[in-house]
Amino acid sequence: MTVKPRLGLRRRVVLPALAAGAAATVAASLLLFSSTAASAQEAPVNLGTAADFSVLAGAEPTNTGPSFLAQSLGRFPGSTAAGFETATIGGEIHLGDAVALQAQSDLTIAFNDAAGRTRSPTCPRNSAATRSTKGSIGSGQPSSPDR
């Protein structure tokens, strides 16, 4: 007795295999002929020792009311910081010492590195945040007395 393969079984095996092969070919073609150039993401700006500070000031920082700083408070040059008696500071206080000097130096290097980079077209400039007064960042809206 001779057994003939059933046509339905062959279709159930062959057709999905052909479909998978065609899908793989299309996917490979799209990847191969894509006109998008590969590019590596630029390394983040290295803050050095400045990364250890919640506040790092070049002029006297002022605090009003209870505040929480998760990391250190620093100032260089200068050795005063007004109003931080009521603040909870998670790190250390460095006012006019070598640690603050090194952090300021690292911050200047990081700023110059960031300023020299090309802005990505996919990351637009934040136009909502603007400097409204010395040392503060506002919304760019005029302030009113009742705010």
CA distance 131 to 138: 6
Tell me the per-residue pLDDT of 52-78, one tens digit each, with 9 for 90 and over.
Answer: 999 999 999 999 989 999 999 999 999
Q: Is 7 contained in some domain?
A: no
The verdict on residue 134 lying in a domain is no
The reply to whether 79 falls in a domain is yes
Residue 63 included in any domain = yes
Q: Which long-range contacts (CB under 8 A, 24 or more apart) does 63-68 make?
A: 63/87
Closest residue by Cα to residue 49 from 111, 98, 89, 106: 106
Q: Tell me whether residue 1 is in a domain.
A: no
Domain count across the chain: 1
Q: What pLDDT does residue 119 have?
A: 79
Is 91 a member of any domain? yes
* 68 domain-assigned: yes
Given a cut of 50, is residue 143 above it in pLDDT?
no
pLDDT of 125 higher than 80: no
* pLDDT attached to residue 38: 63
Is pLDDT larger for residue 124 or for residue 79?
A: 79
| Structural domain boundaries enclosing 63 | 48-114
| Statement: residue 101 has pLDDT above 90 | yes
